[in-house]
Amino acid sequence: MGTIIRDSFGRVLDYVRISITDRCNFRCMYCMPASGIEWIPHNEIMTYEDILFLVSVLSNLGVKRIRFTGGEPFVRKGFIDFLHEIHRKHPLIGIAVTTNGAFLERDASAISALALHSVNVSLDTLDPGKFSEITRTGDLSRVLRGIDSLVASGEVPVKVNTVVMRDFNLVEIPSLARFAAEKSVLLRFIEFMPLDKDVWSKMQYVPASEILSLLPEATQWSPCNKNLRASESLDPGIPNGPAKYFRKKDTGQCIGIISAVSDHFCHTCNRLRITSTGEVRPCLFSNKGVPIIDALRRHDPDATREGILKAVTQKPHEGGTGIPGEKQAPKVDQHSSITCFNREKSPRNGAENFTEERHMSRIGG
Ligand code: SAM
Ligand code: SF4
């Protein structure tokens, strides 16, 4: 006890994202091909017992916050019971979940009883047709009902994350902002990250400065990271991850912008990722990782800790955000195991841009 994880550059790593599953009921164009990916066999995925054990090791290493993600975490059977168990065993760890929102309506009352620190719902558009296009299998009304159910419970801070893509949802920035205000949810716009060079397009990428300039009544917004309210922050008083927050003078609405590309935040990175197969990934932009699945299965705390700390030594100073081909270009692995599908044209506008390629689901997006 009393330990903390500090990397070679002095950064304290107290936040871990764990991918519960690589599987998903959506096929978002920038994340998976239409046919899905070849799912990892169940016996290669961490069991809930493995993850419980992992969390106890992480807790002893001073980890304070854990986000469960995927794939879609709620497609995994028993996920809610698992969250109860995690909270029961580790009440001091802040637990959050990232979801596509498809199951929120079904599970809202169970989720609101979980004492989660936040539920982040990914929502890239408010247009039903465009939602079907980008997610391929998603139903916008179901996700919106899910958000409403969770907000109505009043028990869990709900955040909405929107990846901004120029030809897709740039024009919706004002309506998404108004939507967030009406629903009282915290909206964060995310710069489209060049995780895969074949999917990402400079044409589709929109920098944070432009996103900010497109907020409704743009001159009304001023930076407010230091004055976040409890409902807007995972830990009031502690810098809230990589988002820069802005508050609207007249209404008090707060919106975050995550500028992973135009203003990279590697120097403040406090996180590790663990894949659903039990591999510790020190950086989102690298395919290097340290497998700890055998140690987890043996419930061997020393070997698990050793694997985690080995991955920490591999954490780069800068993982490689920035615009490909320009200064600080991503150092994306050329032989990436997560770069594996072919381009296809968008059915809506024929563009060859944000189509397929990367299953961030495997690395815990
Ligand atoms: N299925 C859940 C969901 O969609 O929220 C969790 C997993 S998903 C991989 C996590 C997040 O990664 C989503 O919000 C998605 O929009 C985001 N994401 C995927 N590819 C991205 C990219 N190239 N740039 C920015 N965000 C991305
Ligand atoms: Fe599924 Fe999330 Fe990837 Fe969309 S972004 S395909 S919802 S894992």
Question: Cα of 2 to ligand 2 centre, how many Å?
Answer: 36
Q: Residues 74-129: pLDDT tens digits?
A: 999 999 999 999 999 999 999 999 999 999 999 999 999 998 999 999 999 999 99
Place of tokens 């055998």: 294
Q: In whole angstroms, what is the distance from residue 330 CA to residue 81 CA? A: 39
Nearest ligand to residue 191 Cα: 1
Q: Whose CA is nearest to atom 3 of ligand 2?
A: 31
Low-confidence ranges of the chain (pLDDT < 70): 1-2, 196-198, 226-227, 230-241, 319-365
Question: Are 157 and 117 spatial neighbours (Cβ–Cβ below 8 Å)?
Answer: yes
Q: Is 120 in the pocket of ligand 2 (CB under 6 A)?
A: no
The token pair that represents 322 in the structure block: 């920035």
Q: Which residue's alpha carbon is nearest to atom 9 within ligand 1?
A: 365
Q: What is the Å distance from ligand 1's center to 196 Cα?
A: 13
The predicted-structure confidence for 135-153, as pLDDT tens digits, reads as follows 999 999 999 999 999 999 9
Three-class SS state of 318:
coil
Query: Is 72 close to ligand 2, i.e. is its CB under 6 Å away?
Result: yes
Ligand 1 proximal residues by C-beta, below 6 Å: 24, 30-31, 69-72, 98-100, 122, 161, 163, 190, 192-193, 195, 360-361, 365
Which of the ligands is closest to the CA of residue 99? 1
Residue 189 CA to ligand 2 center (angstroms) comes to: 16
Give the residue, out of 69, 150, 258, with the most ligand 1 atoms within 8 A of its beta carbon, to mutate for a pocket test. 69
How many angstroms separate the alpha carbon of residue 218 from the centre of ligand 2?
Answer: 30
DSSP 8: T
Looking at all shown ligands, the one closest to residue 73's CA atom is: 1
pLDDT for the residue 196: 67
Give the pLDDT of residue 336. Answer: 28
Ligand 2 centroid–CA 219 distance in Å is: 34
72 alpha carbon – ligand 2 mean position (Å) = 6
Identify the CA nearest to 234 among candidates 184, 59, 242, 52.
242
How far is 362 from 365, CA to CA, in rounded Å?
Answer: 8
Ligand nearest the Cα atom of residue 354: 1
Sign, Cα dihedral of 162, 167, 171, 172: negative
- Ligand 1 centroid–CA 22 distance in Å is 12
* Structure token digits, residue 157: 């801070």
Distance 23 CA to ligand 2 centre (A): 9
